[in-house]
Amino acid sequence: MNTTLPIESFGILSGSPRFDTVLEGDQAYLPAPERYESAFRDIFTRQYYTNQGPLASRLEERLRAFHGVRHAVCVTNATIGLIMAAEAMGLHGRVIVPALASVSVLQSLTWAGLEPLFSDVDPRTHQIDADYAADLLNQGHSDIAAILAVNQWGSVCDTAALRDLAHQFEVRLYFDSVHAFANIVNGAPIGGQGDIEVFSLHSGQIMGGAEGSYLCTNDDSLAGRLRNIRSSYGAGIPVTVSKTSNGRLSEAQAALGLMHLDDFPRLQSANTKLFQRYESGLRSILGIRLLKPSGIDSSNYAYLICEIDESEFGMSRDCLVSVLKADNVNARHLMSFETAMTCPTSVTHLPRAAQIMRNHLQLPLGPDVSTQDVDRVCTLIAAAKIHATALAKASS
Amino acid sequence: MFNKSDIHDLAVFGGTALFATPRSTSNLVRPDIDTFLSHSKLILERKGGPNECSLVELLEQELASLHKTSHCVAFSNGFWGLALAMKCLALPGKTEIVMPSLTYRRMADIAAWVKLVPHFCEVDAHTLGANAATVERCINKDTALLLAVHPIVNCCEVDSLADLAQRRNLPLLVDAVESAYETYRGKKIGSFGNAECFSMHASKLINGFEGGYLTTNDPELAEKLVRMRDLGLLDDGCPIPYGIDATMNKVHAAMALSGLSDLPAQIERNRHRYETYRDMMNSLPCLSLLTFDEAEQCSYKNIVVRLSPEWPLTREDTLRVLHGERVIARPYYSPALHQKRAAYPTIAGNLSLTESLAEQFMLLPCGYFVDDEDTALIVSLLHFMQDHADPITKQLRQQ
């Protein structure tokens, strides 16, 4: 690999970025225009727009079968899905959540009248540390109602340990699996791990559907409540719920979800190739370590997360992000704008999560990224390491 | 073709239904597919970079212009738009929201999500909406917010409600879902009170698949609502409690924009349907049509009738027979909210007028699916029911 890019060629010094357009690299997927047109002409002919229409029902059935669960309940977005999950379980009190949980998770608890109790994460896997959660439960807090675990960045938590904890302390266990669509554990896609698993159909995630979401459960009673909270349409058997919401998924969202599901194997295979390309491209660079998905047989490989060891790499994570951005590579902090960790009070209590937030970054990976793009990004990073001192000075 | 000559021809007694597919009270307007696909191009070509106006922003601008307000904020649906508006407007430390009981069936649930206690007020028999006197009776030291709701036909007295709110130093939120096109005393609905909320559910005036929006002339409120809608994140990344993801997606925005282009034509279609009903129902004096106030701008969308005491069937029986024929008429806001059991606290005094009104009205099919022939069939059916009321009642009791 060419690691001899001259220092003056870096965008941060030349003012001329190496990539002509920004390499965004999220999972944003859109169907081919002719498929989109055909799907919407069908909807306009059918004139069924929302209220659990035929496409929403078909999508639910396909997702249910995909995950091998008893119920998949489609909803308008994942935040509202998380709120509905807490409401359906009738939770009161506090909920253990990992320190790296998204703002969606935290806001869902607020709406459901619940308080978060943060657990630190495992520094190797970034998933909730079951031992830490056990300590919280053992401290004798009587008002802990549930563990809301997050399957972060293409990995899966230590589900068995969490399930044992939930069983032992008689608390509910539910999952934010927004990052975990199509992760395979014990030979099958996840989906039925806890009481409820919330997946995303957000257009920026591995499986899209115009910002929608769906909830998987094997519990008939919870599914009934979720459907009744969502709205009266498609509610099945009426069940008394304390209050309803509006969480319907429209036919437009369902149409996009179905198309994405059709294309998913191809997209996942492309992700896997890109992931492997990054893996080999970064392997020989000291001071940068790629986070391999854990707890799975195979991952969706949709998230490329790296740790920067400043002493080995020669520059900080923040410097590298600035250098890459100046070359139009959309390297990102770990959704820093979206995590609980940005609030200063959390950081002191949760040192491992805080460390992860400080020294990790996310690199572009998605349908708009080619293997050549990955090679260029890896070359750029390798050269950045060689010129680390001068570039760090420039970026400051 | 009207197919009933005997009561046993009624579907409820085993006959063939008058309609092969349901005629409902939902608007379900189908905009022009090519307009929709043209808007969708912006999505498919991934346009809308940081400096470009997104489809959702474009929609917000057009809606602000329609309502003659400075700001509009779009939401995933009206339910969460209302919830966020309540959260943003409620006076801190206060607990009650004054709202009519004769209203949208989920309204009290929305208040419960934001931990406000619904304090149900009486309505005005003429407008079917709350007025300054009925609302003022419910104001007390705990009042956090006033919620006015426009009725299904015409408007409530929103100017005097705004005066009351000002005089009592209370915020006023208006649910204007059913008055999206109307004016009140010549002024466009959208700029009364602190904010007004609308729905773009497929059943409403503008079909956005799902969706909702809020209009206001208060820039600070608009900014706060956008922030709360987009997860409540402050610039330093910390969340404001009760932020949520209630963003409207671009495909729904494309649909709503297409519906807006069709709006003048839709109003003409609605007016024609309304006038057809009005003319045909002249011969049914026991079912009086609620007329639109044509001194104002009207949507002519909803067809509501009052069942007079002389109408020879109960409303329940009337609806049962109609539903059998796939005429999906609906009772008007019935039961009223205070008559339903709630799992959260509510406050209601004597609401006898509301209880009486909740028994008197029904909505007849309207919207894009209902043409002149359908209207004629529905009116013929109502005539038939009136003429055969006694045997119908007797037969229903025997079932």
Q: Is B33-261 the same fold as B7-29+263-398?
A: no
Least CB–CB distance from B233: residue in A47, A210, A337? A337
Give me the helix-helix angle, A220-230 and A78-89, nearest 10°: 120
Write down the CATH number for the domain with range A7-29+263-395. 3.90.1150.10
**Matching CATH number, A33-259, of 1.10.599.10, 2.20.25.240, 3.40.50.1390, 3.40.640.10:** 3.40.640.10
Helix (H) or strand (E) holding A74: strand A71-75
ipTM score of complex? 0.96
Least CB–CB distance from B209: residue in A50, A113, A203? A50
CB spacing of B36 vs A44 below 8 angstroms: yes
**Tell me, what DSSP letter sits at residue A96?**
E
The CA-CA-CA angle for residues B257, A252, A192, to 5°, reads: 145
Q: How far apart are the two ends of chain B, measured CA to CA in Å? A: 28
Q: What is the pLDDT of residues A158-204, one digit of tens each?
A: 999 999 999 999 999 999 999 999 999 999 999 999 999 999 999 88
Cβ partners under 8 Å of residue B212, min gap 6? B74, B75, B76, B77, B78, B79, B80, B81, B82, B197, B198, B199, B200, B201, B248
On whether any CB of chain A is under 8 Å from the CB of B13, the answer is no
Beta bridge partners of A332: A362
Q: List every span in chain A annotated with CATH 3.40.640.10.
A: 33-259
**Matching CATH number, B33-261, of 3.30.590.10, 1.10.150.20, 3.30.540.10, 3.40.640.10:** 3.40.640.10
Q: List every span in chain A annotated with CATH 3.90.1150.10.
A: 7-29+263-395
Q: Per-residue b/e over B39-52, b at no fewer than 16 CB within 10 Å?
A: bbebbeeeebeeee
List the alpha helices (DSSP H) in chain B.
33-44, 55-67, 78-89, 107-113, 132-136, 158-167, 219-229, 250-261, 263-280, 315-324, 352-357, 372-387, 389-398
Write down the CATH number for the domain with range B7-29+263-398. 3.90.1150.10
Q: What is the DSSP string of B325-382?
A: TTB--EESS-S-GGGS--SS--EE---HHHHHHTTTEEEEP-STT--HHHHHHHHHHH
CB spacing of A338 vs B233 below 8 angstroms: yes
Helix (H) or strand (E) holding B96: strand B96-100
Distance from CA of A126 to the nearest CA of B (A): 20
On whether any CB of chain A is under 8 Å from the CB of B213, the answer is no
| Phi and psi at residue A208, to the nearest 5° | -110, 170
Q: What is the pLDDT of residues A59-96, one digit of tens each?
A: 999 999 999 999 999 999 999 999 999 999 999 999 99
**Are A214 and A224 in contact, with CB atoms under 8 Å apart?**
no
**Are A83 and A111 in contact, with CB atoms under 8 Å apart?**
yes
Give the number of beta-carbon pairs within 8 Å between A and B.
126
Single out the residue of A338, A395, A97, A351 nearest to residue B236, CA to CA. A338
CB spacing of A30 vs B46 below 8 angstroms: yes
Interface of A with B in 127-186 (CB under 8 A): none
Single out the residue of A168, A203, A174, A208 nearest to residue A190, CA to CA. A174
Domain boundaries, chain B: 7-29+263-398, 33-261
CB spacing of B210 vs A28 below 8 angstroms: no
**Going by DSSP bridges, is the β-strand pair B347-348/B117-121 parallel, antiparallel, or unpaired?**
parallel
**Are A92 and A113 in contact, with CB atoms under 8 Å apart?**
yes
Least CB–CB distance from A243: residue in B236, B243, B344? B344
Q: Indicate the length of chain B as a whole number.
A: 399
Cβ partners under 8 Å of residue A46, min gap 6? A53, A54, A251
Q: What is the pTM of this model?
A: 0.96
Per-residue pLDDT of chain B (399 residues; tens, 9 = 90+): 898 999 999 999 999 999 999 999 999 999 999 999 999 998 888 754 445 568 999 999 999 999 999 999 999 999 999 999 999 999 999 999 999 999 999 999 999 999 999 999 999 999 999 999 999 999 999 999 999 999 999 999 999 999 999 999 999 999 999 999 999 999 999 999 999 999 999 999 999 999 999 999 999 999 999 999 999 988 777 788 899 999 999 999 999 999 999 999 999 999 999 999 999 999 999 999 999 999 999 999 999 999 999 999 999 999 999 999 999 999 999 999 999 999 999 999 999 999 999 999 999 999 999 999 999 999 999 999 999 999 999 999 998
Residues of A within 8 A of B36 (CB-CB) are 40, 44
CB spacing of B209 vs A47 below 8 angstroms: no
- What single letter denotes the amino acid at residue B377? L
**Are B198 and B61 in contact, with CB atoms under 8 Å apart?**
no
CB spacing of B245 vs A104 below 8 angstroms: yes
**Are A162 and A133 in contact, with CB atoms under 8 Å apart?**
yes
